[in-house]
Structure formats: structure tokens, C-alpha cells
């Protein structure tokens, strides 16, 4: 390797990763600019300027983070985690937002504590697993990581923001997976969640339960664990309907509309139908940058935040969408490779968990625009307008870059 | 920090994660392919439905010309305002804002909203007769009216107005009921259609085909721009039509029809069946209906006791009076029971005793001895009572019915009333009971009274047959060679010499001193015809004239009725009217003069002699 390349790598961690991040963020600003070009007055108009400002801040934050040794970070982890949990409590008390209490405002700046909590939880779980030399085998040994994610999970769920809350579950699964926890154990841990989703239909839940029993019978875990898992599944399945009734109406509608957007085409189904129409009418090459009629005439809602990818689909077409998806894939794969190359331990775990979180955001957000996922309000990394999200993204990338330099 | 140790788990798990990553991205790419490539056309349509609103471009109706190329109906540019589909609340708000510009009251607003909610998908025409000032005022405040479209559209115009009201009909916006009906299957709400007259009869060709253009609206249904796509379909103008009608003659009739009287006239070309004039008075101005007739105007027309909307030439029924005597003469001559020189057994002393009743002649002192020719010339009732009796009831009924007097002519107008005449004696049994009537009905039937009602058009057609001796052409308004050949199935079935003898008698009516129409003979041509007086239970008798000119080579057949047109039982108002119109037409056509015999100087003639 040449010296220049080495020094650049030391400076940026991984030039490819950083370059792709900045490229995606700039593309995001271009799409936010287009999203603001609409016929009706919209908050999206001018948003690109604010996003550009946030990108500048995010890049400064990125360089600052790459200067922080992982040791220091690992040392600070409990404090970061505690701070994020406290902010989640604060936001429940004084937060604001359209449907949820998820925003904290300091002067002119809004901030979502849930974004910080994702970071804090990733670091906290990584610290937990880095501290262990042996691999977790027993379900009961997992109470600590489960507790680590359940605290922010319930606090975010109380906002209520189901989509963001589920991300904490994703972080846990990623951490367990990367720590080498047996897949059966992960399966058993996750199974009550599946039961809860399938609990709407006794028949479907019954099938799931039989599969579960079958797996337990074949793989033979400890009897007491198997019994516990079975009972947890029964309990979860039984609580589905009572829990459903406690969901906010808009959340219920979002989930129902996911199953059939036509039940409420002017209301809750509107978002999904308009998004599909926007993407579908893009065709191979799209309507041209800035030209999408669905966006331009304000048929497409949340066009600069949650549904920014629909603008991509409408204006840049199938080819644009695929190129962008491939760019994301390359980015995520890069994070994964860095996680693998890093020595096992804190840094590697942090990188892999970020991979999982960003991957989940990508799949859930883009899947939502085409109707593969329910509408949850999870933003798309780099593209969706939102300053605190972009800042946290680049802080995360900064940590991953630091992991790359320390290997 | 940590030592690199052999780690079999992470590479495997990294591979697993890569598989999941690629799998998930693959599913997403497939979903995009499904939407953008497979479903593209469907979603493009949905996107267009979302943002494009069709605006109908109303077609220009075909123009209508008379036989000399004068315009009966054409189009001028007008402005219309339509309301785009939008939620009812915003439609109401828009209408209320428009109210002051369009002079709508709250009832109008509700009516428009009612129509609007019945057809929420299509743009609704609120007004189609905006003035330039109104357009300017609304355009100035365009942001307030972003759910509305102002369009220029062709507006119908009838330059000669009232003179042609009953012929041309009028146009109006299609009604809810018409939209449901089969004859307007392809029509959309807001379409202007022909109502009555030629406009209705030839709607299919005159109407044209509407075009469509699209405007782009945003998510709140406000118009953003004119859509420049290729999907705009131009409207197709309706087909122009040429009528056989003579507008100059029609206007002349309008100008000379006796003021304050009711009545009508129809003039035909006996050779090809073209209608030369068709007029009914009182008349109406069809221009009133353009853009929707005002309530006041409509109430006035509808409630006028003189019924200006009634077409007295084709839909009113009258007893034919003495014009009917030619029908009787024809029937009696063709079965050989009567010749032109025949004299009846009972001479006229003012009445004919039949049973216990005296049937009167119009001339109280009687006509004394007359032959058929003289009886036609002087219109002697007593003579024709006996003609009827000689024929007998059954042959009379059968003969009359064989000449089409119980049917409509089939003229190309949307409404025509069928003439009426008893079919058989059973008809009388049914009406009055088998013992409720006697054969004396013959006497009334013989002079065009009693159970018979005819239209002007039917009488004009019978006289066409008398004029030419052929089976008459079915009257028609438009110029069309095929229609020129469409004839009635019946003929007079009279030997030519007999017909010429009747023609001679009809000439005497107009051209000989003592004839009932002598006072109105033409200066330059020999006319022929028959006066009539139809008894009217409601007042003065109706005055008839049916005739043609020139007698030898007829170019015009005319039937005229002036209701209560015998004001003092002396003067006939129909006769001079008919003769002036025939005269005018022959002048207009430049027909070679063929003056009648000079008037013998010693004879003193009373002006405008009436019969009966």
C-alpha cells in the first residue's frame, strides 16, 4: 500500500465508506430540493437548505468522532446510554409532535431522543457482549441484554412510536447474532414477538405454534427453556387483541391499510396508494428530476421525509431506484466487511449493530413505499429530511470509521 | 485492544448477513420492477386520473340554411363557466362566491349543488351566457375561483327569431331524464341538445361530437395548468343543413299575419313535398332559450292563453269546414255518382230538411239550382249534404280513410298530431251507443264538421294531390332527393278529366265574380283554392283557405287557418293571407306570369266575400 492511501485511510477510516456516505447525503439533499418543488405551499420548500446545514454539522461531528479512541467510547458508553434513557423520559414529559411525543425542542432546533437512544443502545449492547469471553448458550443468560433494550423500547413505544421501538428489537437480534448466540436461542427469544403479530387469527397462530413445538422437539433445548418459550408464546398470542385495542387509531389504521390500502383510500390508505402511483408511473426512466406530477401536485404526502424514495421512484424511474438501492447495498456491505475485519469485541459489535439498524431502516422505509411493509414513519438513511437523524447517521459512520482505523 | 483470535463464527454469520442483505434488496428490486415496469401503464393511468380533469369542449352545431342560402341558425362565440369536481363543501363555497357575479340567488345555488352532487365526476356548466364583463371580473379574481374553468363555446343564434320559432325549435341543456333515455345514450351532462323543431329532429347530424381537453389539478383540486398532452380531442362540428323552406316567405308571413289573431299556415311545393313556409302565430323567439330560458320568460310562454308554444300548423286539430267539400266531390266523382254538371234533386233554399231537423246553408236565402262546379264556387252546403247522402255512410267513411285523413303525414318534425276521422260505423256505436246516433252524421261530415279534426298539413297535402293528380309526396323540411321521392300510398284515384273539372271549379272560387275567394285573386297568376269556415263553439268561426298557384302548373300549395277569423261573419282573414303569400312566393321564384281572365267590368263584387 502507498503511504498516501494509508494516511488517508487513517484520516477517514475507510475512504470508500465515507465517500459513499457523503454522496448519498448529497443525493438526499438533491431529492429534498426536488421534493420541495410543489404547487401547494409546503414545509418541504426550502428544507434542502436546512438539510445542507445539518450535513455540514454532521460532517464536523463525523471528524470529531473519528478522533475518539474506542476505549474512551467504551468507557463512556454507560453514560451515553443513561443520558439517552433520561432524554426519553424527558421527551415523554415535555415532548411534542404531530401524533407522538417524540421531539425535543431547544430554541430553533428539534431533536428526536429516540435517535440518540438507538446509538446508546447499540454501544451498551456492544459493551455487554465485548465483556464476555464465552458465548451465550442459555436463554436465561440473556436477561441483561434484553433488559438493556426493553427500557428504551417501552419508552419509545409509549410516545407512541412503534416503528422506532421495533428498531431496538432489531439491535438486540443483531447483537445476539454477531455474538454467536445459537440461532435456536435467538429463535426462541423472538418467537413470542411472532406470536404477538399472528395472534390476530387463532388459526394462523395455531399453525405457528405447531411449528414452534416441532422446532423445539427436534432441536431439544433445555426442557425448562422450551416450556418457558411455549408459555410465552401462548401468553403473547393471547395479549394481541387487548394490546391492539390500546393502540392509537392512526397506528391501527396504518397496520390495517398495510393489509388493504383500498379500505380507506382518502384517509389512511392515501399515503400508500399515492406512493405506489408515484413509483409505478415512473416506469423505467422516471418522469425526470423535479418533474414528478404526483409529487409536484402534492398528491404524494410526506414527500421529503418518509416518502422521499417515492420521489426517487417517480422522477428517476426503476433504473434510478435500483442504482440507489445498489448504492445502499454497497454501503451496508462495506459496514459489514469492516465489522468482520475488526477484531472481535466492542468495535466489531458496534459496527455490526449499525449495519443492522441501517439495514432495517432501509428495508422498512423502502418496503413501505411499495407496500411491502406497514407505514411506520421510519426515515430512510441519508435521504429523508431530518437533521438529528442525519447527525446520528454520521456519528455512527464516524464510529464505524474509527473501528476501521483501529483494527 | 484485543488479540486477533481464530473466530469461526463471525465469517459464517457475516455470510449469513450478506445473504439476508442481498435477499432483501432483491425483494425490493423485484417489488419496484413489479410496480414500475409491469404495472407502469396502470399506475400512469392512475396518476393521470389523479391530476387530470376532463373538460368537455362543446361542439358547434351545424348551421341551418334556407332554400336561398339565408341563415336560419348559426353560432356565435359565447363564454361558459364550469365547476370542476370537488368536495361539496368547496363547491358550495365557490358557488356562493360566484353568486354575485352570475346573479345567482340561493335557490339557484342549491339547484346547481343538487346537479353537482348527482354527477360528482364531471365538470358542471354553471352558466353558458357570460358577458365579457362577467368573464373579466371573474378572471381578475382567479385565485378565488380555482375550481372553475371559463371556456369559449359556440352559442346558438337564430337571426330571424320569432318568424321561424316553430320550424327550427330551440336548444337547451340536456335534462336528467333525457340523459337516462335511449335516444341520448352517448350524451353527457351539460350537453346542449336540440329541443323541438328541426333542432330536435336532426339532433344526430346537427349536434356534432364534443371534444375533450384536460386540465391539471393539484391534490386540492385546484387547477394548476392546461395539460399540454396529446389526449386533447377536438370537437367535431355538426353537419350543416339546407331546408327547402323560404325564409323570405316565412318572414313575409310573419309580417302580414293579422295582429292579435291566432292561427297558422303551411305552404308546400306539391312537386317535391318541400315545406316552403310553416308558421304558427302567436310565435316565440327561439333565441330566448339560448343559455337557459329565464323563469319569467318561460312562465309567460307557458301560461299565455294564446299558447305561443303550440305549433298550429302541425299539432293543432281543426274541423276542415268547407275546404272538405273537395274531398266529398272527389269521392262522389270517383264512384260515378256525381259529374261536374250534376244537379242535386233538392235545390238550395237555405236549408235541407233531414228527419226532423233542418240542416242549414250559410246563405240564408239559398243558392237555388247549382251544379257541382257552382256548388264548389259558392260553397253550397245543401248541395254537399246531398252528395254525402248519395254516397252513403259506409262508402264515405271508407273513402275518406283511404285518403289518409286518419293519420299523421310523417313530416320531419318531432311532434305532429295525427288527423282524426271515424273509421267505421262501429266507431259511432262505440262512441254514442248503437241507438245513440243516426245516419244524419253524414250531413255534418259532408261539410267538414262533426267527428272530424284535421291538421293544416294534412289538408295542404290533399290539395297537393288535387293540384297534380299524383300520389302526394310526404312533406319534409330538409332538402333531400330521397325524401322528394317518398310518397303517400294513396292517390285520388280519379280520372284525369274529372280532376281537371274539379280544378276548374277551384279556379272559379278565386277568379270568378261570386266565388268565395274572388276578392283575393292574384294579379299575375291564376290561383285555385277553396275557402272554409269551421264552426267554433267558443266564438267566431275559424277561417280557412286551402289552395295552390299557378293553377295549371302548381308551384305552391298553401293551407291557412285564422282562428275566429270570421270576425263579423263576413270577411275571411285566411283568404287574403293565403293569396298574398302565394303571390309573394311566385314573385320570389320568378314564375312566368299567367294572368287570370280579366274581370268583367259590369260585375260589382263585395270585398273579401266569405262563404256560408
Pairing relation of β-strands B64-65 and B241-242? parallel
Q: DSSP secondary-structure letter at B155?
A: E
Measured between beta carbons, the chain A residues lying within 8 angstroms of B4 are 343
Looking at per-residue pLDDT, the higher value among A12 and A384 belongs to: A384
Please name which of A362, A160, A157, A376 lies closest in space to residue A271, comparing C-alpha atoms.
Answer: A376
A346 Cβ neighbours under 8 A, 6+ residues apart: A70, A73, A74, A126, A127, A130, B1
Judged against a pLDDT cut of 70, whether residue B197 lies above it is answered with: yes
Strand pairing partners for B530? B546
Q: Give how far A69 is from chain B: nearest CA, Å.
A: 11
Q: Give how far B130 is from chain A: nearest CA, Å.
A: 30
3-state DSSP percent of chain A in helix, strand and coil, to 5: 75, 0, 25
Judged against a pLDDT cut of 80, whether residue A35 lies above it is answered with: yes
Judged against a pLDDT cut of 80, whether residue B600 lies above it is answered with: no
DSSP codes of every residue in A274-325: HHHHHHHTTTTT-S-TTT-HHHHTT-STTTTTTTHHHHHHHHHHHHHHHHHH
Buried b (16+ CB within 10 A) or exposed e, B206-230: bbbebeebbbbbbbebbbbeebeee
Is residue B203 very low, low, confident or very high in pLDDT (cuts 50, 70, 90)?
Answer: very high
Judged against a pLDDT cut of 80, whether residue B611 lies above it is answered with: no
Task: Give CA–CA dist B68/B585, Å, rounded.
Answer: 12
Judged against a pLDDT cut of 70, whether residue B7 lies above it is answered with: no
CB contact under 8 A, B21 and A333: yes
Residue matched to cell numbers 259558392: B378
Is residue A40 very low, low, confident or very high in pLDDT (cuts 50, 70, 90)?
Answer: confident
Measured between beta carbons, the chain A residues lying within 8 angstroms of B37 are 283-284, 318
Give the model confidence (pLDDT) of B51-89 as tens digits: 888 888 889 999 999 999 999 999 988 888 888 877 778
Overall size of chain B counted in residues = 612
Is residue B355 very low, low, confident or very high in pLDDT (cuts 50, 70, 90)?
Answer: confident
Cβ of B251: how many Cβ atoms within 10 Å?
Answer: 19
Q: DSSP 3-state assignment of B475?
A: coil
> Which of residues 108 through 127 in chain A touch B, CB cutoff 8 A?
none
Measured between beta carbons, the chain B residues lying within 8 angstroms of A280 are 35-36, 39-40, 42-44, 46-47
CB contact under 8 A, A293 and B216: yes
Task: Give CA–CA dist B348/A309, Å, rounded.
Answer: 107
Is residue A263 very low, low, confident or very high in pLDDT (cuts 50, 70, 90)?
Answer: low
Cα torsion angle, B89, B91, B94, B100, sign: negative
Q: Which of A176, A297, A351, A365 to mutate to test the interface with B (most CBs of B within 10 A)?
A: A297
Map B510-547 to HEC letters. HHCCCCCCHHHCCCCECCEEEEEEECCCCCCCEEEEEE
Average pLDDT over residues A191-211: 86
Give the model confidence (pLDDT) of A239-259 as tens digits: 888 888 887 777 777 777 666
> Of the given ranges (A21-35, A146-160, A264-278, A338-352), which has the lowest mean pLDDT?
A264-278
Is residue B95 very low, low, confident or very high in pLDDT (cuts 50, 70, 90)?
Answer: confident
Catalytic residue among B80, B82, B280, B322: B322
Give the model confidence (pLDDT) of B99-109 as tens digits: 888 888 888 88
CB A296 within 8 A of CB A321: no
Average pLDDT over residues A29-44: 85
Interface check B38 vs A, CB under 8 A: no
Residue B609: per-residue pLDDT = 45
Containing B279, the helix (H) or strand (E) segment is strand B275-281
Judged against a pLDDT cut of 70, whether residue A98 lies above it is answered with: no
Interface check A128 vs B, CB under 8 A: no
Please name which of A317, A305, A316, A318 lies closest in space to residue A365, comparing C-alpha atoms.
Answer: A305
Q: Indicate the average pLDDT of chain B.
A: 87
Judged against a pLDDT cut of 60, whether residue A60 lies above it is answered with: yes
Report CA dihedral (B63, B66, B72, B73) to the nearest 10 degrees: -10
Residue A99: per-residue pLDDT = 61
Task: Give CA–CA dist A90/A94, Å, rounded.
Answer: 6
Spell out the long-range contacts of B429-433 with Cβ–Cβ below 8 A and sequence spacing 24 or more: none
> Which of residues 342 through 401 in chain A touch B, CB cutoff 8 A?
343-348, 352, 355, 359, 363, 366-367, 370-372
Task: Give CA–CA dist A133/A197, Å, rounded.
Answer: 35
Q: Indicate the average pLDDT of chain A.
A: 86
> Which of residues 134 through 163 in chain A touch B, CB cutoff 8 A?
135
Q: Which of B27, B31, B35, B42 to mutate to test the interface with A (most CBs of A within 10 A)?
A: B35
Name the E strands within A27-164: 104-106, 109-111
Interface check B219 vs A, CB under 8 A: yes
Task: Give CA–CA dist B157/B343, Å, rounded.
Answer: 58
Is residue A64 very low, low, confident or very high in pLDDT (cuts 50, 70, 90)?
Answer: very high
CB contact under 8 A, A298 and B218: yes
- Provide the grid cell at A61: 461531528
Q: Left if phi > 0, otherwise alpha if psi is -120 to 50, otherwise beta: which for A343?
A: beta
Average pLDDT over residues B288-298: 86
Task: Give CA–CA dist B272/B279, Å, rounded.
Answer: 19
CA atoms within 13 A on the CB side of B338: 29
CB contact under 8 A, A284 and B36: yes
Is residue B527 very low, low, confident or very high in pLDDT (cuts 50, 70, 90)?
Answer: very high
Q: Give how far A112 is from chain B: nearest CA, Å.
A: 27
Element counts in chain A: helices (H) and strands (E): 16, 2
A70, A299, A318 member nearest B219 (Cβ): A299
> Of the given ranges (A75-89, A334-348, B450-464, B587-601), which has the lowest mean pLDDT?
B587-601
- Provide the grid cell at B610: 266569405
Residue B2: per-residue pLDDT = 43
Is residue B557 very low, low, confident or very high in pLDDT (cuts 50, 70, 90)?
Answer: very high
The verdict on whether B86 is a catalytic residue reads no
Helix axes B88-102, B132-140, angle to 10 degrees: 130
Containing B571, the helix (H) or strand (E) segment is none
Is residue B234 very low, low, confident or very high in pLDDT (cuts 50, 70, 90)?
Answer: confident
Residue B180: per-residue pLDDT = 87
Residue matched to cell numbers 422437539: A217
Residue A11: per-residue pLDDT = 64
- Provide the grid cell at A170: 432489531
Buried b (16+ CB within 10 A) or exposed e, A211-246: ebeebbeeeebeeebbebbbebbeebbeebeeeeee
- pLDDT-above-70 percentage for chain B: 94
pTM: predicted TM-score of the whole model, two decimal places: 0.72
Q: What are residue A176's phi and psi, to 5 degrees? A: -60, -45
> Of the given ranges (A130-134, A275-279, B435-439, B558-562), which has the lowest mean pLDDT?
A130-134
ipTM of the complex: 0.92
Residue B583: per-residue pLDDT = 94
Cβ of B26: how many Cβ atoms within 10 Å?
Answer: 12
Average pLDDT over residues A357-365: 95
Measured between beta carbons, the chain A residues lying within 8 angstroms of B40 are 280-284
Is residue A181 very low, low, confident or very high in pLDDT (cuts 50, 70, 90)?
Answer: confident
Residue matched to cell numbers 266575400: B609
Residue A402: per-residue pLDDT = 92
Residue B199: per-residue pLDDT = 95
Map B401-427 to HEC letters. HHCCCCCCCCCCCCCCCCCECCCCHHH
Residue B603: per-residue pLDDT = 46
Alpha carbon A79 to chain centroid distance?
22
Residue A262: per-residue pLDDT = 66
> Which of residues 51 through 80 in chain B touch A, CB cutoff 8 A?
51
Judged against a pLDDT cut of 80, whether residue A13 lies above it is answered with: no
B14, B37, B50 member nearest A294 (Cβ): B50
- Provide the grid cell at A249: 387509531
Residue B337: per-residue pLDDT = 86
Overall size of chain A counted in residues = 407
Q: DSSP 3-state assignment of B345?
A: coil
Interface check B12 vs A, CB under 8 A: no
Q: DSSP 3-state assignment of B209?
A: strand
Q: Give how far A268 is from chain B: nearest CA, Å.
A: 15
Task: Give CA–CA dist B227/B355, Å, rounded.
Answer: 86
Judged against a pLDDT cut of 90, whether residue B560 lies above it is answered with: yes
Residue matched to cell numbers 310523417: B410
Residue A4: per-residue pLDDT = 45
Q: Left if phi > 0, otherwise alpha if psi is -120 to 50, otherwise beta: which for A269?
A: alpha
Interface check A42 vs B, CB under 8 A: no
How many inter-chain contacts (A to B, CB under 8 Å) are there?
Answer: 140
H runs (alpha helix) in B34-172 = 40-51, 88-102, 106-118, 132-140, 165-168
Average pLDDT over residues B115-138: 79
Residue B287: per-residue pLDDT = 93
Judged against a pLDDT cut of 90, whether residue B229 lies above it is answered with: no
Task: Give CA–CA dist B192/B174, Å, rounded.
Answer: 6
Strand pairing partners for A105? A110
Residue B283: per-residue pLDDT = 94
> Of the given ranges (A8-12, A342-346, A393-397), which has the lowest mean pLDDT?
A8-12
Is residue B6 very low, low, confident or very high in pLDDT (cuts 50, 70, 90)?
Answer: low
Judged against a pLDDT cut of 60, whether residue A122 lies above it is answered with: yes
Give the model confidence (pLDDT) of B26-56 as tens digits: 999 999 999 999 988 888 888 888 888 888 8
Measured between beta carbons, the chain A residues lying within 8 angstroms of B146 are none
Amino acid at each position: 500500500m502507498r503511504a498516501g492511501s494509508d494516511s488517508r485511510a487513517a484520516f477517514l477510516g475507510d475512504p470508500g465508506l465515507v465517500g459513499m456516505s457523503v454522496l448519498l447525503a448529497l443525493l438526499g439533499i438533491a431529492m429534498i430540493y426536488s421534493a420541495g418543488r410543489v404547487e401547494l405551499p409546503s414545509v418541504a420548500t426550502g428544507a434542502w437548505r436546512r438539510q445542507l446545514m445539518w450535513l455540514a454539522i454532521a460532517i464536523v461531528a463525523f471528524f470529531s468522532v473519528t478522533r475518539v479512541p474506542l476505549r474512551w467510547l467504551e468507557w463512556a458508553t454507560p453514560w451515553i446510554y443513561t443520558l439517552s434513557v433520561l432524554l426519553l423520559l424527558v421527551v415523554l414529559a415535555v415532548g411534542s409532535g404531530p401524533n407522538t411525543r417524540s421531539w425535543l425542542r431547544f430554541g430553533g432546533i428539534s431533536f428526536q431522543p429516540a435517535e440518540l437512544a438507538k446509538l446508546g443502545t447499540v454501544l451498551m449492547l456492544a459493551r455487554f457482549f465485548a465483556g464476555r469471553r464465552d458465548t451465550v448458550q442459555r436463554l436465561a443468560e440473556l436477561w441483561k441484554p434484553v433488559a438493556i433494550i426493553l427500557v428504551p423500547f417501552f419508552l419509545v413505544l409509549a410516545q407512541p412510536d412503534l416503528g422506532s421501538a421495533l428498531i431496538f428489537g432489531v439491535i438486540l437480534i443483531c447483537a445476539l447474532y454477531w455474538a454467536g448466540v445459537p440461532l435456536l436461542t435467538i429463535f426462541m427469544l423472538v418467537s413470542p414477538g411472532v406470536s404477538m403479530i399472528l395472534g390476530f387469527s387463532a388459526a394462523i397462530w395455531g399453525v405457528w405454534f405447531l411449528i414452534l413445538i416441532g422446532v423445539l422437539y427436534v432441536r431439544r433445548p433445555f426442557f425448562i427453556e422450551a416450556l418457558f418459550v411455549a408459555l410465552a408464546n401462548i401468553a403473547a398470542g393471547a395479549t394481541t387483541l387487548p394490546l391492539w385495542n390500546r393502540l392509537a387509531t392512526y397506528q391501527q389504521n396504518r397496520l390495517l391499510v398495510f393489509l388493504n390500502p383500498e379500505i380507506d383510500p382518502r384517509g389512511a390508505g392515501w399515503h400508500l396508494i399515492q406512493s405506489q402511483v408515484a413509483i409505478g408511473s415512473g416506469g423505467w426512466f422516471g418522469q425526470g428530476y423535479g418533474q414528478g406530477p404526483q409529487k409536484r401536485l402534492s398528491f404524494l404526502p410526506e414527500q421529503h421525509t418518509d416518502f422521499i424514495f417515492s420521489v426517487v421512484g417517480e422522477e428517476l424511474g426503476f433504473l434510478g431506484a435500483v442504482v440507489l438501492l445498489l448504492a445502499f447495498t454497497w454501503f451496508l456491505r462495506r459496514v459489514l466487511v469492516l465489522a468482520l475485519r475488526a477484531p472481535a469485541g466492542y468495535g466489531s459489535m458496534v459496527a455490526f449493530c449499525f449495519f443492522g439498524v441501517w439495514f432495517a431502516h432501509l428495508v422498512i422505509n423502502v418496503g413501505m413505499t411499495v407496500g411491502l411493509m406497514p407505514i411506520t414513519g421510519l426515515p430512510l438513511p441519508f435521504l429523508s429530511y431530518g437533521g438529528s437523524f442525519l447527525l446520528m447517521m454520521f456519528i455512527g459512520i464516524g464510529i464505524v470509521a474509527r473501528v476501521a482505523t483501529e483494527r | 485492544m484485543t488479540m486477533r483470535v481464530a473466530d469461526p463464527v463471525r465469517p459464517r454469520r457475516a455470510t449469513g448477513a450478506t445473504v439476508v442483505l442481498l435477499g432483501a434488496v432483491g425483494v425490493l428490486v423485484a417489488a419496484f420492477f413489479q410496480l414500475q415496469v409491469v404495472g407502469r401503464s396502470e399506475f400512469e393511468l392512475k396518476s393521470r386520473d389523479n391530476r387530470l380533469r376532463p373538460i368537455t369542449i362543446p361542439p358547434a352545431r351545424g348551421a341551418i340554411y334556407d332554400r336561398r342560402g339565408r341563415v336560419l341558425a348559426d353560432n356565435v362565440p359565447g363564454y361558459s363557466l364550469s365547476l370542476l369536481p370537488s368536495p361539496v363543501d368547496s363547491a358550495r363555497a365557490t358557488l356562493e362566491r360566484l353568486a354575485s357575479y352570475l346573479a345567482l340567488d340561493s335557490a339557484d345555488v342549491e339547484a346547481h349543488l343538487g346537479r353537482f352532487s348527482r354527477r360528482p365526476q364531471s365538470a358542471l356548466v354553471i352558466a353558458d351566457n357570460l358577458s365579457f364583463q362577467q368573464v373579466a371580473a371573474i378572471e381578475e379574481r382567479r385565485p378565488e375561483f380555482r375550481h372553475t374553468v371559463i371556456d369559449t363555446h359556440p352559442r346558438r343564434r337564430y337571426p330571424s327569431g320569432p318568424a321561424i320559432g316553430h320550424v327550427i325549435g330551440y336548444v337547451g341543456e340536456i335534462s336528467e331524464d333525457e340523459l337516462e333515455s335511449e335516444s341520448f345514450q352517448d350524451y353527457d351532462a351539460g350537453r346542449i341538445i336540440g329541443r323541438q323543431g328541426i333542432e330536435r329532429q336532426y339532433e344526430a347530424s346537427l349536434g356534432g361530437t364534443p371534444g375533450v381537453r384536460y386540465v391539471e389539478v393539484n391534490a386540492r383540486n385546484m387547477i394548476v395548468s392546461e395539460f399540454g398532452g396529446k389526449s386533447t380531442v377536438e370537437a367535431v362540428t355538426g353537419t350543416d343543413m339546407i331546408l327547402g323552406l323560404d325564409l323570405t316567405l316565412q318572414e313575409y308571413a310573419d309580417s302580414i299575419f293579422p295582429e292579435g289573431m291566432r292561427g297558422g299556415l303551411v305552404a308546400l311545393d306539391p312537386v317535391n313535398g318541400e315545406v316552403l313556409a310553416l308558421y304558427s302565430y302567436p310565435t316565440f323567439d327561439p333565441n330566448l332559450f339560448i343559455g337557459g330560458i329565464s323563469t319569467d320568460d318561460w312562465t309567460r310562454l307557458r301560461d299565455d292563453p294564446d299558447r305561443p308554444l303550440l305549433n298550429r300548423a302541425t299539432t293543432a286539430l281543426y274541423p276542415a269546414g268547407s275546404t272538405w267539400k273537395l274531398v266529398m266531390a272527389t269521392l262522389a266523382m270517383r264512384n260515378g255518382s256525381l259529374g261536374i254538371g250534376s244537379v242535386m234533386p233538392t235545390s238550395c233554399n237555405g236549408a235541407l230538411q233531414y228527419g226532423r231537423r233542418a240542416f242549414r246553408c250559410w246563405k240564408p236565402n239559398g243558392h237555388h239550382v247549382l251544379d257541382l262546379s257552382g256548388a264548389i264556387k259558392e260553397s253550397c252546403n245543401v248541395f254537399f249534404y246531398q252528395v254525402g247522402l248519395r254516397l252513403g255512410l259506409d262508402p264515405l267513411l271508407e273513402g275518406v280513410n283511404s285518403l289518409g285523413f286518419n293519420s299523421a303525414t310523417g313530416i320531419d318534425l318531432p311532434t305532429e298530431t295525427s288527423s282524426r276521422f271515424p273509421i267505421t260505423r262501429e266507431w259511432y256505436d262505440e262512441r254514442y251507443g248503437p241507438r245513440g246516433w243516426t245516419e244524419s252524421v253524414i250531413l255534418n261530415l259532408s261539410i267538414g264538421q262533426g267527428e272530424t279534426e284535421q291538421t293544416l298539413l294534412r289538408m295542404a297535402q290533399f290539395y297537393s294531390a288535387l293540384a297534380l293528380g299524383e300520389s302526394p309526396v310526404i312533406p319534409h323540411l330538409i332538402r333531400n332527393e330521397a325524401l322528394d321521392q317518398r310518397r303517400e300510398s294513396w292517390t285520388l284515384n280519379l280520372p284525369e278529366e274529372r280532376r281537371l273539372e274539379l280544378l276548374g271549379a277551384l279556379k272559379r272560387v278565386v277568379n270568378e265574380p261570386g266565388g268565395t275567394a274572388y276578392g283575393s285573386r292574384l294579379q299575375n297568376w291564376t290561383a285555385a283554392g277553396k275557402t272554409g269556415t269551421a264552426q267554433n263553439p267558443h266564438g267566431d268561426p275559424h277561417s280557412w283557405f286551402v289552395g295552390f298557384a299557378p293553377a295549371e302548373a302548381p308551384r305552391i300549395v298553401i293551407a291557412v287557418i285564422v282562428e275566429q277569423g270570421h270576425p263579423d261573419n263576413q270577411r275571411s282573414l285566411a283568404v287574403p293571407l293565403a293569396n298574398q303569400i302565394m303571390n309573394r312566393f311566385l314573385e320570389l321564384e320568378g314564375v312566368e306570369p299567367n294572368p287570370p281572365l280579366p274581370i268583367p267590368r259590369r260585375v260589382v263584387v263585395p270585398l273579401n266575400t266569405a262563404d256560408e
